[in-house]
Structure 1
């Protein structure tokens, strides 16, 4: 006679799953890493334009006056700040600092709020 394994619960309602803030911070950390990997070549191109000649610098300033460019720059700054803060958080947790549940939650919220705050400060400078 074969034994049946106990039925495991299946929950496919993704909009109702509540993930802990630490898990969301970790997922966003990975997403921001991808955003940075995609955005760094554009940053090098902008740096090249700014240093190449007066005409290319003028071209860059015209591009920078575009609203879509400003939005992309603010999004890139948010990704950079969130990724930096989350990376420091992960390194500290690797050595045992802030690894208790209450400390981990607090540091995750700090990373999330800090990343948005840095992006808003950048938006004040850019806009």
Structure 2
């Protein structure tokens, strides 16, 4: 027994939303630190140069990309388009594919 691809897309959409919610406070704190003073900005730049921080930022970028792609998919389906089983499967594959491409591009941009 396995989940159909639209179910996987829906579950990933919820997980990406949780990741974005949990990352909001630390990202706002980093923004606050970077805007506090020029020396704090330089310190945040040093923090962001570490590989583990880039990995965290990449995961947030990936979650953002997927959440947007899946959200647009859901909005289009809410308008009445692509509600059939076949169209739902195709749109889930497309949303996951676009998010994967954006994830790779985000990783290239960070590193």
TM-score, normalised relative to structure 2: 0.94
- 1:22 and 2:13 equivalent? no
Q: How many residues align?
A: 111
Question: Shift in Å at residue 26 of structure 1?
Answer: 0.1
Question: Shift in Å at residue 116 of structure 1?
Answer: 1.5
SS in 2 for 1:23: helix
SS in 2 for 1:32: helix
Report the counterpart of residue 84 of structure 2 in structure 1: 100
1:110 aligned residue (94, 99, 107): 94
Question: Shift in Å at residue 100 of structure 1?
Answer: 1.4
Question: Shift in Å at residue 50 of structure 1?
Answer: 2.0
CA root-mean-square deviation = 1.0
Structure label with greater radius of gyration: 1
TM-score, normalised relative to structure 1: 0.83
Instruction: Name stretches of at least 5 consecutive residues in structure 2 with no aligned partner.
Output: none
Query: Distance between the aligned counterparts of 1:44 and 1:73, measured in 2?
Result: 13
